[in-house]
Amino acid sequence: MNQNKTNSYTAEFREAAVKLAVESDQSISQTARELGVNVNTLHTWIRKYHGKQDVSSGNQVDDQHLYDELKKLRRDNARLKEERELLKKAAAFFAKESR
Protein backbone atom coordinates (compact mmCIF):
# COMPACT_ATOMS: atom_id res chain seq x y z
CA MET A 1 0.00 0.00 0.00
CA ASN A 2 2.12 2.85 -1.26
CA GLN A 3 0.41 6.15 -0.78
CA ASN A 4 1.98 9.15 -2.43
CA LYS A 5 0.82 12.18 -0.57
CA THR A 6 1.42 15.41 -2.41
CA ASN A 7 0.75 18.65 -0.66
CA SER A 8 0.10 21.83 -2.52
CA TYR A 9 1.18 24.93 -0.66
CA THR A 10 0.28 28.47 -1.59
CA ALA A 11 2.98 30.91 -2.62
CA GLU A 12 2.18 32.98 0.47
CA PHE A 13 2.70 29.96 2.74
CA ARG A 14 6.00 29.09 1.07
CA GLU A 15 7.25 32.66 1.33
CA ALA A 16 6.23 32.89 5.00
CA ALA A 17 7.89 29.53 5.71
CA VAL A 18 11.14 30.68 4.09
CA LYS A 19 11.07 33.94 6.03
CA LEU A 20 10.45 32.10 9.29
CA ALA A 21 13.22 29.58 8.60
CA VAL A 22 15.73 32.26 7.71
CA GLU A 23 14.92 34.76 10.43
CA SER A 24 14.24 32.49 13.39
CA ASP A 25 16.85 31.29 15.85
CA GLN A 26 15.77 27.67 15.48
CA SER A 27 17.12 25.20 12.97
CA ILE A 28 15.56 24.77 9.55
CA SER A 29 14.63 21.18 10.35
CA GLN A 30 12.85 22.27 13.54
CA THR A 31 10.99 24.97 11.62
CA ALA A 32 9.98 22.38 8.99
CA ARG A 33 8.65 20.02 11.68
CA GLU A 34 6.62 22.79 13.28
CA LEU A 35 5.12 23.76 9.93
CA GLY A 36 4.44 20.14 8.95
CA VAL A 37 6.66 20.42 5.88
CA ASN A 38 9.36 18.01 4.76
CA VAL A 39 12.78 19.47 5.61
CA ASN A 40 14.03 18.89 2.05
CA THR A 41 11.02 20.76 0.71
CA LEU A 42 11.78 23.73 2.96
CA HIS A 43 15.43 23.72 1.86
CA THR A 44 14.26 23.72 -1.77
CA TRP A 45 11.98 26.69 -1.12
CA ILE A 46 14.81 28.57 0.57
CA ARG A 47 17.15 27.92 -2.39
CA LYS A 48 14.49 29.01 -4.87
CA TYR A 49 13.62 32.14 -2.89
CA HIS A 50 17.24 33.16 -2.46
CA GLY A 51 17.98 32.19 -6.06
CA LYS A 52 15.47 34.79 -7.25
CA GLN A 53 17.12 37.42 -5.10
CA ASP A 54 20.63 36.36 -6.17
CA VAL A 55 19.87 36.93 -9.85
CA SER A 56 19.41 40.63 -9.17
CA SER A 57 22.48 40.92 -6.95
CA GLY A 58 24.74 38.62 -8.97
CA ASN A 59 26.53 37.45 -5.81
CA GLN A 60 25.13 34.00 -5.12
CA VAL A 61 28.23 32.74 -3.32
CA ASP A 62 28.55 35.85 -1.16
CA ASP A 63 24.82 35.85 -0.36
CA GLN A 64 24.93 32.20 0.76
CA HIS A 65 27.95 32.97 2.93
CA LEU A 66 26.13 35.93 4.47
CA TYR A 67 23.02 33.81 5.03
CA ASP A 68 25.05 31.11 6.80
CA GLU A 69 26.89 33.71 8.87
CA LEU A 70 23.61 35.37 9.87
CA LYS A 71 22.14 32.04 11.03
CA LYS A 72 25.29 31.33 13.07
CA LEU A 73 25.30 34.78 14.64
CA ARG A 74 21.63 34.53 15.59
CA ARG A 75 22.22 31.16 17.28
CA ASP A 76 25.26 32.56 19.10
CA ASN A 77 23.29 35.63 20.17
CA ALA A 78 20.47 33.49 21.60
CA ARG A 79 22.99 31.33 23.49
CA LEU A 80 24.76 34.39 24.90
CA LYS A 81 21.45 35.89 26.06
CA GLU A 82 20.67 32.66 27.92
CA GLU A 83 24.11 32.64 29.51
CA ARG A 84 23.74 36.28 30.57
CA GLU A 85 20.40 35.55 32.24
CA LEU A 86 21.92 32.59 34.07
CA LEU A 87 24.81 34.74 35.30
CA LYS A 88 22.40 37.44 36.50
CA LYS A 89 20.47 34.86 38.51
CA ALA A 90 23.68 33.41 39.96
CA ALA A 91 24.94 36.87 40.94
CA ALA A 92 21.65 37.67 42.66
CA PHE A 93 21.73 34.34 44.49
CA PHE A 94 25.27 34.84 45.76
CA ALA A 95 24.59 38.46 46.69
CA LYS A 96 21.70 37.27 48.94
CA GLU A 97 23.86 34.60 50.53
CA SER A 98 26.69 36.95 51.41
CA ARG A 99 24.46 39.23 53.49
Report percent pLDDT > 90 for the chain. Answer: 39
Q: How many domains does the chain have?
A: 1
* Residue 6 placed within a domain: no
Domain hosting residue 84, numbered range: 11-97
pLDDT tens digit sequence for 18-37:
988 888 888 888 999 999 99
Which residues, including other chains, have CB under 8 Å from residue 77's CB and lie 6 or more apart?
A: 25
pTM: 0.48
Alpha-carbon span 10 to 19, nearest angstrom: 14
Q: Is residue 51 part of a domain?
A: yes
> Is residue 45 within 8 Å of 54, Cβ to Cβ?
no
